[in-house]
Chain A
Amino acid sequence: MSKVSHELPLLKSSALTLMNFVHAYRINILGLLMGVMFGFLMSRAGATTFDFHVKLFLFEDLQLLKVIGTAVIVAMLGVFMLKKLHINALATGTEVDFVKKPYQQGLIAGAFLFGIGWAMTAACPGTIPAMIAEGKIGAVFSLIGLLLGTLAYGILQSFIAHNGSYRAAMK
Protein backbone atom coordinates (compact mmCIF):
# COMPACT_ATOMS: atom_id res chain seq x y z
CA MET A 1 0.00 0.00 0.00
CA SER A 2 1.57 3.19 -1.11
CA LYS A 3 1.23 6.32 0.93
CA VAL A 4 -1.00 8.90 -0.76
CA SER A 5 0.05 12.48 -0.26
CA HIS A 6 -2.73 14.98 0.37
CA GLU A 7 -0.41 17.91 0.24
CA LEU A 8 -1.03 20.52 -2.43
CA PRO A 9 1.39 23.22 -3.52
CA LEU A 10 1.36 26.12 -1.04
CA LEU A 11 -0.25 28.63 -3.40
CA LYS A 12 -3.09 26.31 -4.40
CA SER A 13 -3.64 25.22 -0.83
CA SER A 14 -3.91 28.78 0.45
CA ALA A 15 -6.17 29.76 -2.43
CA LEU A 16 -8.50 26.87 -1.55
CA THR A 17 -8.43 27.79 2.15
CA LEU A 18 -9.31 31.37 1.30
CA MET A 19 -12.14 30.28 -1.00
CA ASN A 20 -13.47 28.00 1.70
CA PHE A 21 -13.34 30.79 4.25
CA VAL A 22 -15.09 33.24 1.94
CA HIS A 23 -17.76 30.67 1.14
CA ALA A 24 -18.37 29.69 4.77
CA TYR A 25 -18.61 33.29 5.95
CA ARG A 26 -20.09 34.79 2.77
CA ILE A 27 -23.16 36.23 4.48
CA ASN A 28 -21.12 37.92 7.22
CA ILE A 29 -18.60 39.22 4.66
CA LEU A 30 -21.42 40.60 2.52
CA GLY A 31 -22.88 42.15 5.68
CA LEU A 32 -19.55 43.82 6.43
CA LEU A 33 -19.31 45.20 2.88
CA MET A 34 -22.90 46.45 3.03
CA GLY A 35 -22.05 48.14 6.32
CA VAL A 36 -19.07 49.88 4.73
CA MET A 37 -21.30 51.11 1.92
CA PHE A 38 -23.97 52.26 4.36
CA GLY A 39 -21.49 54.17 6.53
CA PHE A 40 -20.00 55.86 3.47
CA LEU A 41 -23.42 56.87 2.13
CA MET A 42 -24.60 58.16 5.53
CA SER A 43 -21.55 60.42 5.60
CA ARG A 44 -21.99 61.64 2.02
CA ALA A 45 -25.69 62.27 2.66
CA GLY A 46 -24.81 64.62 5.52
CA ALA A 47 -26.44 62.40 8.16
CA THR A 48 -23.23 62.37 10.20
CA THR A 49 -23.08 66.19 10.37
CA PHE A 50 -24.66 67.73 13.49
CA ASP A 51 -25.98 70.85 11.76
CA PHE A 52 -28.00 69.09 9.05
CA HIS A 53 -30.21 67.49 11.73
CA VAL A 54 -30.79 70.80 13.52
CA LYS A 55 -31.43 72.67 10.26
CA LEU A 56 -33.94 70.02 9.15
CA PHE A 57 -36.04 70.41 12.29
CA LEU A 58 -35.75 74.20 12.18
CA PHE A 59 -36.74 74.09 8.46
CA GLU A 60 -33.58 75.96 7.46
CA ASP A 61 -32.07 73.29 5.20
CA LEU A 62 -34.06 70.29 4.02
CA GLN A 63 -31.03 68.23 2.88
CA LEU A 64 -31.88 65.21 5.06
CA LEU A 65 -35.56 65.34 4.12
CA LYS A 66 -34.57 65.20 0.43
CA VAL A 67 -32.28 62.27 1.25
CA ILE A 68 -34.81 60.15 3.10
CA GLY A 69 -37.70 61.12 0.80
CA THR A 70 -35.79 60.16 -2.36
CA ALA A 71 -34.38 57.03 -0.69
CA VAL A 72 -37.81 55.76 0.43
CA ILE A 73 -39.36 56.32 -3.02
CA VAL A 74 -36.46 54.69 -4.88
CA ALA A 75 -36.43 51.77 -2.42
CA MET A 76 -40.20 51.40 -2.76
CA LEU A 77 -39.94 51.07 -6.55
CA GLY A 78 -37.06 48.60 -6.14
CA VAL A 79 -38.95 46.47 -3.62
CA PHE A 80 -41.97 46.50 -5.95
CA MET A 81 -39.78 45.24 -8.82
CA LEU A 82 -38.10 42.54 -6.71
CA LYS A 83 -41.50 41.30 -5.54
CA LYS A 84 -42.98 41.32 -9.03
CA LEU A 85 -40.04 39.40 -10.53
CA HIS A 86 -39.80 36.92 -7.61
CA ILE A 87 -36.03 37.45 -7.45
CA ASN A 88 -33.90 35.07 -5.39
CA ALA A 89 -31.39 36.50 -2.92
CA LEU A 90 -27.80 35.98 -4.11
CA ALA A 91 -26.41 34.92 -0.71
CA THR A 92 -29.08 32.35 0.16
CA GLY A 93 -30.52 31.32 -3.21
CA THR A 94 -34.01 31.52 -1.73
CA GLU A 95 -36.68 34.09 -2.44
CA VAL A 96 -36.18 37.51 -0.81
CA ASP A 97 -37.91 37.69 2.57
CA PHE A 98 -39.77 40.99 2.89
CA VAL A 99 -40.39 40.42 6.60
CA LYS A 100 -42.07 43.43 8.18
CA LYS A 101 -41.50 44.70 11.69
CA PRO A 102 -44.72 43.97 13.61
CA TYR A 103 -46.59 46.43 15.80
CA GLN A 104 -45.40 45.89 19.34
CA GLN A 105 -46.61 47.23 22.64
CA GLY A 106 -44.67 50.38 23.50
CA LEU A 107 -43.95 51.29 19.88
CA ILE A 108 -45.28 54.82 20.20
CA ALA A 109 -43.61 55.46 23.58
CA GLY A 110 -40.35 54.00 22.27
CA ALA A 111 -40.50 56.06 19.09
CA PHE A 112 -41.16 59.20 21.16
CA LEU A 113 -38.11 58.57 23.39
CA PHE A 114 -36.05 57.78 20.29
CA GLY A 115 -37.01 61.11 18.72
CA ILE A 116 -35.88 63.02 21.81
CA GLY A 117 -32.56 61.12 21.69
CA TRP A 118 -32.26 61.95 17.99
CA ALA A 119 -32.68 65.66 18.64
CA MET A 120 -30.22 65.55 21.57
CA THR A 121 -27.42 63.73 19.76
CA ALA A 122 -28.14 64.67 16.11
CA ALA A 123 -27.51 61.02 15.37
CA CYS A 124 -29.24 57.68 15.04
CA PRO A 125 -27.89 54.16 15.68
CA GLY A 126 -26.77 53.83 12.05
CA THR A 127 -24.73 57.02 11.92
CA ILE A 128 -22.96 56.94 15.31
CA PRO A 129 -20.21 54.44 14.30
CA ALA A 130 -19.52 56.46 11.14
CA MET A 131 -19.33 59.70 13.15
CA ILE A 132 -16.75 58.14 15.49
CA ALA A 133 -14.62 57.10 12.50
CA GLU A 134 -14.82 60.65 11.15
CA GLY A 135 -13.19 61.86 14.36
CA LYS A 136 -16.28 63.27 16.08
CA ILE A 137 -15.49 62.69 19.75
CA GLY A 138 -19.06 63.43 20.81
CA ALA A 139 -20.27 60.28 19.06
CA VAL A 140 -18.17 58.13 21.41
CA PHE A 141 -20.40 59.29 24.29
CA SER A 142 -23.53 58.78 22.19
CA LEU A 143 -22.34 55.21 21.56
CA ILE A 144 -21.78 54.55 25.28
CA GLY A 145 -25.30 55.83 25.97
CA LEU A 146 -26.73 53.81 23.10
CA LEU A 147 -25.23 50.58 24.45
CA LEU A 148 -26.42 51.38 28.00
CA GLY A 149 -29.94 52.07 26.73
CA THR A 150 -30.01 48.85 24.71
CA LEU A 151 -28.68 46.95 27.73
CA ALA A 152 -31.33 48.49 30.00
CA TYR A 153 -34.04 47.20 27.67
CA GLY A 154 -32.51 43.70 27.71
CA ILE A 155 -32.28 43.66 31.51
CA LEU A 156 -35.89 44.82 31.79
CA GLN A 157 -37.06 42.13 29.35
CA SER A 158 -35.05 39.45 31.16
CA PHE A 159 -36.71 40.43 34.47
CA ILE A 160 -40.19 40.38 32.92
CA ALA A 161 -39.56 36.98 31.30
CA HIS A 162 -38.45 35.52 34.63
CA ASN A 163 -41.19 37.11 36.76
CA GLY A 164 -38.83 39.59 38.37
CA SER A 165 -36.50 36.96 39.76
CA TYR A 166 -32.95 38.32 39.72
CA ARG A 167 -31.47 34.84 40.01
CA ALA A 168 -33.31 33.47 36.97
CA ALA A 169 -32.88 36.58 34.82
CA MET A 170 -29.12 36.96 35.37
CA LYS A 171 -27.37 33.67 35.01
Chain B
Amino acid sequence: MGIDPFEKRILFVTGKGGVGKTTVAAALAYAARDRGMNVCLVEVAPSPNMRMIFEREIPVYKEVEVDRDLTVLSIEPFRALHEYVGLQLKIGGAARLILNNRLLNYFLNTAPGWRELITVGKIWHLYDMKVKWSNRPRFDLIVVDSPATGHGLSFLKAPSVFMNIIKMGRMQGQTDDVQNMLTDPKISLLNVVTLPEEMPVNESITLLKTAKEELGIPTGITFVNSVYPPLFDEESQASYDELQKDGKAMERLKEVFPDRAKGLLTALESRQARVDQSEFYKNMVLDKIGPPIVSIPHLFPGRVDKEGVQKVAEIINRSIKEGV
Protein backbone atom coordinates (compact mmCIF):
# COMPACT_ATOMS: atom_id res chain seq x y z
CA MET B 1 0.00 0.00 0.00
CA GLY B 2 1.28 3.41 -0.94
CA ILE B 3 0.03 5.03 2.22
CA ASP B 4 0.78 4.01 5.77
CA PRO B 5 -1.88 5.79 7.80
CA PHE B 6 0.03 5.17 11.01
CA GLU B 7 2.89 7.36 9.85
CA LYS B 8 0.56 10.37 9.99
CA ARG B 9 -0.47 12.37 13.00
CA ILE B 10 -4.16 12.96 12.34
CA LEU B 11 -6.60 10.59 10.67
CA PHE B 12 -9.97 12.05 9.76
CA VAL B 13 -12.66 9.45 9.24
CA THR B 14 -15.66 10.69 7.34
CA GLY B 15 -18.63 9.38 5.39
CA LYS B 16 -22.39 9.55 5.05
CA GLY B 17 -24.56 8.89 8.10
CA GLY B 18 -25.09 5.25 9.02
CA VAL B 19 -22.11 3.79 7.16
CA GLY B 20 -20.16 2.84 10.27
CA LYS B 21 -17.86 5.86 10.64
CA THR B 22 -17.57 5.57 14.39
CA THR B 23 -16.80 1.87 14.20
CA VAL B 24 -14.02 2.45 11.69
CA ALA B 25 -12.63 5.44 13.63
CA ALA B 26 -12.54 3.42 16.85
CA ALA B 27 -11.01 0.46 15.00
CA LEU B 28 -8.27 2.68 13.53
CA ALA B 29 -7.57 3.95 17.04
CA TYR B 30 -7.26 0.39 18.34
CA ALA B 31 -5.14 -0.67 15.38
CA ALA B 32 -2.68 2.16 16.11
CA ARG B 33 -2.76 1.49 19.84
CA ASP B 34 -1.92 -2.16 19.19
CA ARG B 35 1.17 -0.96 17.33
CA GLY B 36 2.31 0.76 20.49
CA MET B 37 1.07 4.27 19.82
CA ASN B 38 -0.60 6.59 22.27
CA VAL B 39 -3.88 7.49 20.61
CA CYS B 40 -6.57 10.11 21.08
CA LEU B 41 -9.95 9.32 19.54
CA VAL B 42 -11.93 12.50 18.99
CA GLU B 43 -15.63 12.88 18.37
CA VAL B 44 -16.97 16.19 17.13
CA ALA B 45 -20.58 15.48 17.98
CA PRO B 46 -21.74 13.06 20.66
CA SER B 47 -22.81 9.81 19.07
CA PRO B 48 -24.66 6.98 20.76
CA ASN B 49 -22.40 4.53 18.93
CA MET B 50 -19.27 5.75 20.69
CA ARG B 51 -21.00 5.11 24.03
CA MET B 52 -22.11 1.69 22.91
CA ILE B 53 -18.61 0.71 21.83
CA PHE B 54 -16.93 1.63 25.10
CA GLU B 55 -19.95 0.72 27.20
CA ARG B 56 -19.69 3.87 29.24
CA GLU B 57 -20.79 7.47 29.41
CA ILE B 58 -18.37 9.82 27.71
CA PRO B 59 -18.50 13.23 29.39
CA VAL B 60 -18.32 16.32 27.22
CA TYR B 61 -14.92 17.96 26.79
CA LYS B 62 -13.08 15.75 29.21
CA GLU B 63 -10.32 13.41 28.17
CA VAL B 64 -11.23 9.89 29.20
CA GLU B 65 -8.78 7.00 29.07
CA VAL B 66 -11.14 4.29 27.84
CA ASP B 67 -8.43 1.69 27.44
CA ARG B 68 -4.68 1.43 27.80
CA ASP B 69 -3.06 4.24 25.73
CA LEU B 70 -6.40 5.13 24.26
CA THR B 71 -8.05 8.42 25.18
CA VAL B 72 -11.44 9.60 23.99
CA LEU B 73 -12.36 13.26 23.80
CA SER B 74 -15.79 14.59 22.89
CA ILE B 75 -15.27 18.12 21.60
CA GLU B 76 -17.91 20.68 22.51
CA PRO B 77 -17.56 24.05 20.76
CA PHE B 78 -18.54 26.34 23.66
CA ARG B 79 -16.10 24.63 26.00
CA ALA B 80 -13.43 24.73 23.32
CA LEU B 81 -14.00 28.44 22.86
CA HIS B 82 -13.64 29.06 26.58
CA GLU B 83 -10.38 27.18 26.57
CA TYR B 84 -9.18 29.05 23.51
CA VAL B 85 -9.98 32.51 24.79
CA GLY B 86 -8.45 31.58 28.15
CA LEU B 87 -5.25 30.53 26.42
CA GLN B 88 -5.22 33.66 24.29
CA LEU B 89 -5.68 36.05 27.16
CA LYS B 90 -3.63 33.99 29.58
CA ILE B 91 -6.06 34.95 32.33
CA GLY B 92 -9.05 32.70 32.99
CA GLY B 93 -11.05 35.39 34.78
CA ALA B 94 -10.89 37.86 31.90
CA ALA B 95 -11.93 35.13 29.49
CA ARG B 96 -15.01 34.38 31.56
CA LEU B 97 -15.89 38.06 31.72
CA ILE B 98 -15.75 38.44 27.99
CA LEU B 99 -17.54 35.21 27.24
CA ASN B 100 -20.34 36.08 29.58
CA ASN B 101 -20.93 39.26 27.65
CA ARG B 102 -24.50 39.27 26.37
CA LEU B 103 -23.62 40.56 22.96
CA LEU B 104 -21.05 37.92 22.39
CA ASN B 105 -23.37 35.23 23.59
CA TYR B 106 -25.97 36.38 21.16
CA PHE B 107 -23.42 36.01 18.40
CA LEU B 108 -22.30 32.61 19.54
CA ASN B 109 -25.80 31.24 19.82
CA THR B 110 -26.78 32.32 16.37
CA ALA B 111 -23.73 32.70 14.18
CA PRO B 112 -23.07 29.73 11.94
CA GLY B 113 -19.62 28.38 11.27
CA TRP B 114 -17.58 29.22 14.32
CA ARG B 115 -18.37 25.85 15.91
CA GLU B 116 -16.69 24.07 13.05
CA LEU B 117 -13.72 26.41 13.18
CA ILE B 118 -13.15 26.11 16.91
CA THR B 119 -13.51 22.34 16.66
CA VAL B 120 -10.75 22.05 14.09
CA GLY B 121 -8.79 24.53 16.18
CA LYS B 122 -9.05 22.21 19.16
CA ILE B 123 -7.82 19.33 17.03
CA TRP B 124 -4.82 21.46 16.11
CA HIS B 125 -4.27 22.09 19.80
CA LEU B 126 -4.33 18.34 20.55
CA TYR B 127 -1.88 17.79 17.74
CA ASP B 128 0.42 20.51 19.04
CA MET B 129 0.38 19.37 22.70
CA LYS B 130 3.61 18.01 24.16
CA VAL B 131 4.33 15.62 26.99
CA LYS B 132 5.32 17.69 30.03
CA TRP B 133 8.99 18.70 30.17
CA SER B 134 9.72 17.19 26.80
CA ASN B 135 9.35 17.78 23.12
CA ARG B 136 7.47 14.55 22.56
CA PRO B 137 3.92 14.94 21.27
CA ARG B 138 1.29 14.19 23.85
CA PHE B 139 -0.53 11.93 21.37
CA ASP B 140 1.21 9.96 18.65
CA LEU B 141 -1.97 9.79 16.66
CA ILE B 142 -5.32 11.58 16.67
CA VAL B 143 -8.27 9.86 15.05
CA VAL B 144 -11.24 12.11 14.33
CA ASP B 145 -14.73 10.73 13.87
CA SER B 146 -15.92 13.52 11.59
CA PRO B 147 -19.41 14.07 10.28
CA ALA B 148 -20.09 14.49 6.59
CA THR B 149 -23.35 16.30 6.13
CA GLY B 150 -24.97 18.86 3.92
CA HIS B 151 -22.04 20.45 2.23
CA GLY B 152 -20.10 17.32 2.96
CA LEU B 153 -17.11 18.68 4.71
CA SER B 154 -18.39 21.81 6.39
CA PHE B 155 -16.08 21.33 9.27
CA LEU B 156 -12.93 20.75 7.31
CA LYS B 157 -13.94 23.64 5.11
CA ALA B 158 -14.33 26.04 8.02
CA PRO B 159 -10.70 27.24 8.15
CA SER B 160 -10.62 28.10 4.47
CA VAL B 161 -14.00 29.83 4.69
CA PHE B 162 -12.81 31.86 7.62
CA MET B 163 -9.56 32.66 5.87
CA ASN B 164 -11.75 34.39 3.31
CA ILE B 165 -13.71 36.25 5.95
CA ILE B 166 -10.87 37.08 8.30
CA LYS B 167 -8.40 39.22 6.50
CA MET B 168 -5.86 40.02 9.13
CA GLY B 169 -5.18 39.92 12.83
CA ARG B 170 -4.02 37.24 15.18
CA MET B 171 -6.83 34.87 14.30
CA GLN B 172 -5.80 34.89 10.69
CA GLY B 173 -2.37 33.55 11.55
CA GLN B 174 -3.92 30.83 13.68
CA THR B 175 -6.44 29.90 11.01
CA ASP B 176 -3.47 29.66 8.67
CA ASP B 177 -1.74 27.21 11.03
CA VAL B 178 -4.85 25.06 11.17
CA GLN B 179 -5.22 25.09 7.41
CA ASN B 180 -1.56 24.13 7.02
CA MET B 181 -2.09 21.21 9.37
CA LEU B 182 -5.09 20.03 7.36
CA THR B 183 -3.29 20.23 4.03
CA ASP B 184 0.09 18.79 5.04
CA PRO B 185 0.33 15.23 3.69
CA LYS B 186 2.83 14.37 6.41
CA ILE B 187 0.32 15.23 9.11
CA SER B 188 -3.26 14.73 7.96
CA LEU B 189 -5.08 12.05 6.08
CA LEU B 190 -8.74 12.10 5.18
CA ASN B 191 -10.26 8.62 5.08
CA VAL B 192 -13.74 7.84 3.94
CA VAL B 193 -16.12 5.08 4.97
CA THR B 194 -18.79 3.84 2.60
CA LEU B 195 -21.23 0.98 2.23
CA PRO B 196 -21.27 -1.06 -0.96
CA GLU B 197 -24.39 0.80 -2.14
CA GLU B 198 -25.12 3.39 -4.77
CA MET B 199 -25.70 6.55 -2.72
CA PRO B 200 -22.87 6.21 -0.22
CA VAL B 201 -20.39 5.31 -2.95
CA ASN B 202 -21.41 8.25 -5.11
CA GLU B 203 -21.22 10.61 -2.18
CA SER B 204 -17.79 9.32 -1.28
CA ILE B 205 -16.63 10.00 -4.82
CA THR B 206 -17.91 13.59 -4.66
CA LEU B 207 -16.57 14.11 -1.17
CA LEU B 208 -13.07 12.98 -2.06
CA LYS B 209 -13.13 15.10 -5.19
CA THR B 210 -14.05 18.18 -3.14
CA ALA B 211 -11.40 17.34 -0.56
CA LYS B 212 -8.72 17.07 -3.20
CA GLU B 213 -9.68 19.90 -5.49
CA GLU B 214 -11.19 22.52 -3.21
CA LEU B 215 -9.69 21.89 0.17
CA GLY B 216 -6.34 20.39 -0.69
CA ILE B 217 -6.68 17.87 2.11
CA PRO B 218 -4.65 14.70 1.47
CA THR B 219 -6.88 11.69 0.98
CA GLY B 220 -6.12 8.19 2.20
CA ILE B 221 -7.99 4.94 2.58
CA THR B 222 -11.51 4.15 1.45
CA PHE B 223 -13.13 1.71 3.85
CA VAL B 224 -15.90 -0.32 2.28
CA ASN B 225 -17.93 -1.43 5.25
CA SER B 226 -20.44 -4.24 5.59
CA VAL B 227 -19.26 -6.20 2.60
CA TYR B 228 -21.01 -9.57 2.31
CA PRO B 229 -18.41 -12.28 1.73
CA PRO B 230 -19.43 -15.26 -0.44
CA LEU B 231 -21.32 -17.86 1.57
CA PHE B 232 -19.31 -20.86 0.47
CA ASP B 233 -15.61 -21.41 0.73
CA GLU B 234 -13.91 -23.86 -1.61
CA GLU B 235 -14.86 -26.94 0.40
CA SER B 236 -18.49 -26.03 1.02
CA GLN B 237 -18.91 -24.85 -2.57
CA ALA B 238 -17.78 -28.26 -3.84
CA SER B 239 -20.06 -29.89 -1.32
CA TYR B 240 -22.99 -27.70 -2.38
CA ASP B 241 -22.38 -28.48 -6.08
CA GLU B 242 -22.51 -32.21 -5.26
CA LEU B 243 -25.59 -31.78 -3.11
CA GLN B 244 -27.47 -30.06 -5.91
CA LYS B 245 -26.79 -32.97 -8.23
CA ASP B 246 -28.00 -35.49 -5.65
CA GLY B 247 -31.79 -35.38 -6.06
CA LYS B 248 -32.46 -37.69 -3.13
CA ALA B 249 -30.33 -35.63 -0.74
CA MET B 250 -32.07 -32.43 -1.88
CA GLU B 251 -35.43 -34.07 -1.20
CA ARG B 252 -34.25 -35.03 2.27
CA LEU B 253 -33.13 -31.46 2.96
CA LYS B 254 -36.48 -30.12 1.82
CA GLU B 255 -38.31 -32.59 4.07
CA VAL B 256 -36.48 -31.39 7.14
CA PHE B 257 -37.35 -27.73 6.70
CA PRO B 258 -40.93 -26.43 6.52
CA ASP B 259 -42.31 -25.19 3.20
CA ARG B 260 -39.86 -27.43 1.40
CA ALA B 261 -36.90 -25.35 2.61
CA LYS B 262 -38.25 -22.23 0.96
CA GLY B 263 -36.72 -20.03 3.67
CA LEU B 264 -33.36 -21.72 3.33
CA LEU B 265 -33.31 -21.06 -0.40
CA THR B 266 -34.66 -17.50 -0.08
CA ALA B 267 -31.87 -16.73 2.38
CA LEU B 268 -29.34 -18.17 -0.05
CA GLU B 269 -30.72 -15.99 -2.83
CA SER B 270 -30.63 -12.90 -0.61
CA ARG B 271 -27.06 -13.70 0.31
CA GLN B 272 -26.06 -14.13 -3.31
CA ALA B 273 -27.68 -10.84 -4.28
CA ARG B 274 -25.82 -9.02 -1.52
CA VAL B 275 -22.53 -10.64 -2.42
CA ASP B 276 -23.04 -9.50 -6.01
CA GLN B 277 -24.00 -5.99 -4.90
CA SER B 278 -20.96 -5.78 -2.60
CA GLU B 279 -18.70 -6.90 -5.43
CA PHE B 280 -20.24 -4.43 -7.89
CA TYR B 281 -19.81 -1.40 -5.66
CA LYS B 282 -16.39 -2.45 -4.45
CA ASN B 283 -15.31 -2.49 -8.07
CA MET B 284 -16.91 0.91 -8.58
CA VAL B 285 -14.87 2.26 -5.66
CA LEU B 286 -11.72 0.75 -7.17
CA ASP B 287 -12.57 2.20 -10.54
CA LYS B 288 -13.69 5.68 -9.50
CA ILE B 289 -11.67 6.29 -6.35
CA GLY B 290 -8.89 3.77 -6.65
CA PRO B 291 -6.72 2.13 -4.02
CA PRO B 292 -6.02 1.94 -1.16
CA ILE B 293 -9.23 0.18 -0.18
CA VAL B 294 -9.90 -1.84 2.94
CA SER B 295 -13.03 -3.92 2.88
CA ILE B 296 -14.68 -4.83 6.14
CA PRO B 297 -17.00 -7.83 6.11
CA HIS B 298 -20.55 -7.57 7.37
CA LEU B 299 -20.38 -8.37 11.05
CA PHE B 300 -23.31 -9.60 13.00
CA PRO B 301 -24.92 -8.45 15.25
CA GLY B 302 -25.45 -5.01 13.73
CA ARG B 303 -24.95 -3.52 17.20
CA VAL B 304 -21.39 -2.27 17.54
CA ASP B 305 -19.40 -3.29 20.59
CA LYS B 306 -15.78 -3.30 21.64
CA GLU B 307 -15.24 -6.86 20.50
CA GLY B 308 -16.55 -6.05 17.03
CA VAL B 309 -14.36 -2.95 16.84
CA GLN B 310 -11.27 -4.91 17.80
CA LYS B 311 -12.10 -7.44 15.11
CA VAL B 312 -12.23 -4.60 12.59
CA ALA B 313 -8.93 -3.27 13.98
CA GLU B 314 -7.32 -6.64 13.26
CA ILE B 315 -8.69 -6.58 9.74
CA ILE B 316 -7.26 -3.10 9.22
CA ASN B 317 -3.84 -4.05 10.56
CA ARG B 318 -3.78 -7.19 8.44
CA SER B 319 -4.82 -5.29 5.30
CA ILE B 320 -2.15 -2.69 5.85
CA LYS B 321 0.52 -5.29 6.43
CA GLU B 322 -0.47 -7.20 3.31
CA GLY B 323 -0.68 -3.99 1.31
CA VAL B 324 -4.04 -2.97 -0.04
Asked whether A and B interact, the reply is no
Using CB atoms and an 8 Å cutoff, list the residues of chain B in contact with chain A.
none
